[in-house]
Amino acid sequence: MNQSEDALIRQLKQGDQSGFTTVMEMYQDLVYNTALGIVQNATDADDITQEVFVQVYLSISNFKGESKLSTWLYRITISKSLDHEKRKKRKKRFAFVQGLFGNNEEEQHPVEFDHPGIQLEKKEKAGQLMNAMKQLPEKQRIAFTLHKIEGQSHHEIAAIMNTTLYAVESLMGRAKTNLKKILHNYYQEKFSDT
């Protein structure tokens, strides 16, 4: 950590509102984009972003400074995003059970991926990639999202995920292999129907 980050953390721990505002301004895009990369829904990513900063405000006293503030924020964002997805899955299962008994009011939302870093003409392919990423095991998806969407190095991902560099490289290799298989199957199905 550098001196300005140390000073900012001291401000936060003292309950200084301007320090909290500074953290939000500095890291809002990082938190939102990371959440969006995982949950792939803008409204959900907004909600998660708010949850993350509430968590930061409430638990800054627990921050030990053993990692960078951004690393800590990534960890909270990933945790909140994964928790959000688990809640959504539980709601879907509950709605399915309700549907069995004729009370199915669940709304179906297609995956609509609108990440600020994706150009308009590439949105369809990005949507296909995001759908494929949803099928990856959790750790592979997180490593892939942090590296390919957020531009984090393997070393930083290892710090964020609290694992080894070797484990990150392994996760990335498996994620790429799995994505190739998923996308290959998608394109074979798509073009065999024409």
Tens digit of each residue's pLDDT (9 = 90 or more) over 56-81 = 989 998 888 888 899 999 999 999 99
Q: How confident is the model at residue 178 (pLDDT cuts 50, 70, 90)?
A: very high
Task: Give me the residue spans of the domains in the chain.
Answer: 1-99, 119-194
Judge contact between 93 and 85, C-beta under 8 A. Answer: no
Cα 45 to the center of its chain, rounded Å: 8
- On whether the CB atoms of residues 73 and 31 are closer than 8 A, the answer is yes
Buried/exposed 160-178: b ≥16 CB within 10 Å, e otherwise: bbeeeeebbeebbebbeeb
State the residue for tokens 């300005």: 4
63: helix, coil or strand?
coil
| pLDDT-based confidence at residue 130 (cuts at 50, 70, 90) | confident
Band of the pLDDT at 40, cuts 50, 70, 90? Answer: confident
Measured CA to CA, the distance from residue 131 to residue 90 in angstroms comes to: 19
Amino acid at 71: T
CA distances from 27 to 24, 73, 116 (A): 5, 8, 15
- Residue 106 clears pLDDT 70, i.e. is over it: no
For domain 119-194, the CATH class is mainly alpha
* Mean pLDDT score of the chain: 82
Architecture of the domain spanning 1-99? Orthogonal Bundle (1.10)
